[in-house]
Amino acid sequence: MSPSTRAESSTGLRAQKKRQTLLDLCMAARRLAVERGLDATTVEDIAKVVGVSPRTFFNYYDTKLEAVVGPVDEIGNAESREAFIAGGPSGVLMEDLTWLFATGIEPEKEVREAISLVVELIKTEPRVLAGFMAAGVRQEAIVGELLSARTGAPVAPEFASLAAGIMTTITTRAVMSATDDTSRSLKAAIHEHCAMAARLFGKPDEK
């Protein structure tokens, strides 16, 4: 292995470790908040569960509420984003957006638990719902960046907002519908809900 290859491998491993710590802190924050309540959960508690220092926690999140909401700066994964920007995989924007969002639903077992925890928290913690709403605004900007990169020109904010809203609704309802049914793939549920949404715009067959 050449020095440059070793350096690239090391950089990739560091990025994976940072991403995993980001997710681990989020899941720990959600589990503790469900168990104890958000007010009774501290940054020190969350950090201890993950095995890092409180100082390290603040390298990833500014507050415990932000940790509960979790990372919203990425959609899909690096490979799927690259394919989407290049115009793939199908060339049909709605289908490709659905595919892009679906690639972020993994591993499914952890996603099911994460959704279940969020549902419980929203029932008892209005601040969590407000946090997710604020995260939605940030996600609109990210969707806009992806769409602009794909088309090669800036897209209208209204278009990005609409696209993000539609995909958030489809993804949320699909995951919720399949959360309790472990025999049903979450990714498949997302594609099924996209197909149902498409029926809203379908025209009756001509006789």
Which pLDDT score is estimated for 4?
Answer: 45
Percent of the chain with pLDDT over 90: 54
Closest CA to 76 of 92, 96, 61: 96
Name residue 103's amino acid. Answer: T
> What is the spatial distance between Cα 99 and Cα 170, in angstroms, rounded to a whole number?
12
Structure tokens at 110: 């952890």
pLDDT tens digit sequence for 2-20: 554 444 455 678 888 998 9
**Is residue 2 located within the same domain as residue 76?**
no
Q: Please state, in angstroms and rounded to a whole number, the distance separating the CA atoms of residues 68 and 158.
A: 28
**Total domains present in the chain:** 2
Q: 41 and 96, same structural domain?
A: no
**CATH label of the domain that carries residue 20:** 1.10.357.10
51 and 110, same domain (yes or no): no
In this predicted model, what pLDDT tens digit does every residue of 52-96 receive, in sequence order? Answer: 999 999 999 999 999 999 887 778 888 999 999 999 999 999 999
Domain stops at, among 33, 53, 68: 68
Co-location of 96 and 37 in the same domain: no
Answer yes or no: do 64 and 77 share one domain: no
**Residue 4 sits in which domain range?**
1-68
Measure the CA–CA gap between 205 and 143, rounded to whole angstroms: 34
Say if residue 37 is in the same domain as residue 117: no
List, in sequence order, every beta strand (DSSP E) within the chain.
Answer: none
Domain boundary pick from 10, 42, 68: 68
Does 101 share its domain with 203?
Answer: yes
Q: What is the pLDDT of residue 206?
A: 52
* Pairwise CA distance, residues 97 & 164, whole Å: 9
Distance CA 152, CA 172 (A): 29
What's the number of CA atoms in the CB half-sphere (13 Å) around residue 63? Answer: 8
- Please state, in angstroms and rounded to a whole number, the distance separating the CA atoms of residues 77 and 100: 8
CA 150, 151, 153, 157 dihedral sign is negative
Tally of residues, the chain: 207
Q: Can you tell me the distance from the alpha carbon of 112 to that of 95, in angstroms, rounded to the nearest whole number?
A: 23
**Pair 163, 101 in one domain:** yes
| 137-150 residue pLDDT tens | 888 999 999 999 99
State the CB neighbour count (10 A cutoff) for residue 164: 24
Q: Are residues 98 and 133 in the same domain?
A: yes
Q: Are residues 193 and 150 in the same domain?
A: yes
Q: Say whether both 46 and 92 belong to one domain.
A: no
Same domain, 193 and 102: yes
User: Which of residues 68, 86, 111 is at a domain's end?
Assistant: 68
Q: How far apart are CA 58 and CA 23, in angstroms?
A: 14
